[in-house]
Amino acid sequence: MGPVDWLPHAPLEPVQLDWLNGVELAVLRLDLIDPLISGNKWFKLTGHLAQAQQACGIISLGGAYSNHLHALAAAGKRFGFPTVGLLRGHPQDTPTVLDLQAFGMQLHWLGYGGYRARHAPDFWLPWREQYPQLHPVPEGGGGRAGALGCAVLVEQVRRQLPALGWAGYDAWWLAAGTGTTLAGLALAEAGAHRVYGAMAVPDDHGVARNVEAIVQGGYELLDASRGGFARVDPQLLDFIDATHQACGLPLEPLYTGKALLALKAQVEAGRFMPGTRLIFVHTGGLQGRRGFTG
């Protein structure tokens, strides 16, 4: 598909919240990179596109609320390349699925059993035969290629520090699902600044293993899942509301809301000294929120 020369710009914004207790926070707004494409998934995809020189489009897979498929379909529409989505379960019209169709993504529903087979060695064979000119991207856009696509975020933050009056920063804080985005930041930082990953999934989902396969050290994982992926509780929803009212920052309950709430708990526990400067990555996901809040 040739080199992807369109790299989104993520604004860095200072945020005031009463629980910060002297810790300074700036939010890297990946939710604001583009009117159609949102979040960390496009950065991960650029890493895969860099490897897809011979292909004319992308085939990938995900669920009926998938932020990954949404970003892929939106990018295909924006840049004019074909996309195919392999979906978990049976046909349903979620807001995400309606967008995928509107963006021109070709959909195939795999059922639940068919989707579970996605890690089998021969899973891709029939799809490669049907779509020989499309480059396959794993679920969520993960792996080392996906991580490398996120490395540019470090540079984007550095360039915007002077506008905030910051001479530097101390650490990163972000939600982790597979840990690919965190791994990309840790790769680019090479130990210069610690990267904290607030896990949206419980420990047994293999996040640590995913990250270790890509980068050695420079990061720390914390469980922010609140009992399970997509598990939502009133305290979390209140926190998301309160944050929006306090500073206008929109969060969703699966990743970014849990990540910021986990940061609040750590600040209150005294993990960060007053004056510490943190970069919180808003990884997007607001489109998926439609399925949960109506």
Ligand X SMILES: *Cc1c(COP(=O)(O)O)cnc(C)c1O
Binding site for ligand X (CB under 6 A): 39-40, 67, 140, 175-182, 255-256, 283-285
The yes-or-no answer on residue 60 being catalytic is no
Cβ at position 16, least distance to ligand X in Å: 23
- Name which of 131 and 258 has its Cβ closer to ligand X: 258
Closest distance of CB 23 from ligand X, Å: 22
The residue among 13 and 131 lying less far from ligand X, judged by its C-beta, is 13
In contact, 233 and 165? CB cutoff 8 Å: no
**Which is nearer to ligand X, 25 or 147 (by Cβ)?**
147
Minimum Å gap between C-beta 155 and ligand X is 18
Question: Pick the catalytic residue: 38, 60, 66, 225?
Answer: 66
Q: Which is nearer to ligand X, 42 or 131 (CB)?
A: 42
Give the tokens for residue 283. 């990884």
Report the 10 Å Cβ neighbour count for 271.
13
Cα separation, 80 vs 66, whole angstroms: 21
Q: Which is nearer to ligand X, 131 or 282 (CB)?
A: 282
Chain position whose Cβ is nearest to ligand X: 285
Residue 254 CB, nearest distance to ligand X (Å)?
Answer: 7
Q: What is the DSSP string of the chain?
A: -----------EEEE--GGGTT-EEEEEEGGGS-SS--SHHHHHHHHHHTT-TT-SEEEEEE-TT-HHHHHHHHHHHHHT--EEEEESBS----HHHHHHHHTT-EEEE-HHHHHHGGGSTTTTHHHHHH-TTEEE--GGG-HHHHHHHHTHHHHHHHHHHHHHT-S---EEEEEESSSHHHHHHHHHHTTSSEEEEEESS-GGG-HHHHHHTT--SSEEEEE--TTSTT---HHHHHHHHHHHHHH-----TTTHHHHHHHHHHHHHTT-S-TT-EEEEEE---HHHHHHHH-
Q: Are 261 and 9 within 8 A, CB to CB? A: no
- Closest distance of CB 255 from ligand X, Å: 3
Q: How far is the CB of 252 from ligand X (least distance, A)?
A: 7
Is 83 or 210 the residue whose CB approaches ligand X more closely?
210
Catalytic annotation, residues: 66
